[in-house]
Amino acid sequence: MSVNKYKATQATTENPRQTEYRLFAEVTKALMGVREAADTKGLKSPEFYKAIDWNRRLWLTLQMDLASNENRFPDSLKANIISIAIWVDKHSRTVLRGESAIEPLISVNRSIMEGLSSEPGQQAIPSAAASAVGSLGTSA
């Protein structure tokens, strides 16, 4: 199947919010899987580093999209999500160094997923995730 046919099929079966939700669900599942393995064995496998990197790339992509002139989100929403993305990047570095737990990254992703599953226009995304990040403090 060609890439164009795949994209056309995807476009007719999934809206952007659903795509974002699915992607956050896949990344969060990977983070949860490596958290459990690290807790059980006390080791950080290559999958651990891959999951953290995947999550960081997801957030970097969101940050880049929000910073583009084409993005139509309200400025306050953009600022909130970009702030969360910056926090995710900083916290990820401390997790990779073994100085912080992975759980806050999972919590933030779950908050974003809750926002994505709410009614469009309610802007639950920034408030839920910003609250989650704010309650965790800033680790860098």
Domain ranges of the chain: 16-136
Please report the pLDDT score of residue 15 as a whole number.
87
Q: What percent of the chain has pLDDT over 90?
A: 60
- At residue 138 the predicted structure's pLDDT band, cuts being 50, 70 and 90, is very low
Tell which wins on pLDDT, 81 or 135: 81
Tell me the CA distances in angstroms from 34 to 12, 41, 53, one per residue in order. 33, 10, 12
Find, among 25, 78, 15, 77, the residue nearest to 54 by Cα: 25
pTM comes to 0.75
- At residue 128 the predicted structure's pLDDT band, cuts being 50, 70 and 90, is very low
- At residue 11 the predicted structure's pLDDT band, cuts being 50, 70 and 90, is low
Please report the pLDDT score of residue 14 as a whole number.
79
